[in-house]
Amino acid sequence: EVQLVESGGGLAKPGGSLRLSCSASGFTFSTYTMHWVRQAPGKGLEWVSSINSDSRYTYYADSVKGRFALSRDNARGSLFLQMNSLRADDTAVYYCARDTSRRAGFYYYYYMDVWGKGTTVTVSS
């Protein structure tokens, strides 16, 4: 079964740090681009960051650029989000999501086809 399981959420103080993990199973993790998407309480989805299959390219939302760092360990099937300089508005459920990473000839598909259940991050003093 294809599965993504997030962990590492919890309570952090403003200015503090947390490291989220996402453990993948049931598919060849090393061939997929991966994402983090967050959802603040009562709010909509916000794309946070993505990393391609070989870690050559990482992208970040402006709201987290310079504070968050995305990495992966293909040997362990794991994705990591290092969150520094945390702010109250980083409070959210953080979802790990798989990009389809599918292509047909020269056409590339872009959408998130598998999601984890999320881990909750609360930033408060």
Partner 1 sequence: QSALTQPPSVSGSRGQSVTISCTGTSSDVGSSNHVSWYQQPPGTAPKLVIYEVSDRPSGVPDRFSGSKSGNTASLTISGLQAEDEADYYCSSYTSSSTYVFGTGTKVTVL
Nearer to partner 1, 44 or 75 (CB): 44
Q: Is 22 in the site for partner 1 (CB under 8 A)?
A: no
Q: Considering only residues 62, 103, 106, 125, which one is a binding residue for partner 1 as defined by CB under 8 A?
A: 62
Q: Is 40 in the site for partner 1 (CB under 8 A)?
A: no
In one-letter notation, the amino acid at residue 12 is A
Round to whole Å and give the CA distance between 7 and 82.
12
Q: Is 106 in the site for partner 1 (CB under 8 A)?
A: no
Q: Is 27 in the site for partner 1 (CB under 8 A)?
A: no
Burial 61-73 (b: 16+ CB within 10 A, else e): eeebeeebbbebe
CA dist 9 to 25, 54, 77, 106, Å? 20, 25, 19, 39
Can you give the binding site for partner 1, defined by CB under 8 A? 35, 37, 44-47, 50, 57, 59, 61-63, 95, 100, 109-113, 115-118
